[in-house]
Structure 1
Amino acid sequence: MPDNKEIVPPQYDVNAKWDACLDLTVRRFVYSSLAGAFGGLLFFRSPVTRWATVAFGAGVGIGSAYTECSRIFDASRENLASPKIADALAPQGQD
């Protein structure tokens, strides 16, 4: 019995986009938190400022992951737009 799976184009595969976004978010959160912890240990003596640098690094990581994920998901919205809407939104050349 042959496998009759539908092949979904990559720009419409929401599961793959979620997987990529979760992977990206975890990686950037961990790496930027570690960078903040290293910077806090290197530059500050107070535990409060060290934790603040860890929190700042985590925020930067989550923020950059959010920006990248919104770009990934917005690309699919542009592909779903009808040609009439896409033509109306495109900048018009000057004659």
Structure 2
Amino acid sequence: MAENKQLDLNAKWDAYLDLGLRRFAYSSLAGAIGGLLLFRSPVTRWASLAFGAGVGIGSAYTECSYKFDGSPAKLSTPTISDTPASLDGQE
């Protein structure tokens, strides 16, 4: 049973690395092409490439966190009963 869980974890890490590297490469390429087409300054071209790489890594991280942990906990808005009494106007 423990060996089966280890194999499942290894498969998830393999999928994470594959997805992460692919999205990093494709987004960096899209950022580089966009930078070449839209910007003249080398600094803004590098910034466009870095932005694309960040988007790729972020999207890969988000999708892989769903695979590892399942759906993230939903944030709820505080209700009146959650607020301290001093904020309600009651002393």
TM-score, length of structure 1 as denominator length? 0.67
- Is 1:71 equivalent to 2:66 in the alignment? yes
Count the aligned residue pairs. Answer: 68
RMSD over aligned Cα, in angstroms? Answer: 1.7
TM-score, length of structure 2 as denominator length? 0.70
Give the alignment of 1:1-80 within 5 angstroms: 8=4, 13-75=8-70
CA distance in 2, matches of 1:55, 1:7: 40
CA distance in 1, matches of 2:18, 2:69: 18
Encode CA deviations 1:46-86: one digit per residue, 9 max, x unaligned: 000000000000000000000011000013xxxxxxxxxxx
The sequence identity of aligned pairs, in percent, is 75
Q: Which runs of 5 or more residues in structure 2 are unaligned?
A: 71-91
CA distance in 2, matches of 1:41, 1:23: 27
CA distance in 1, matches of 2:45, 2:27: 14
Moved over 2 A (4+): 6-9
Residue 8 of structure 1, CA deviation: 2.6
Q: Which runs of 5 or more residues in structure 1 are unaligned?
A: 1-5, 76-95
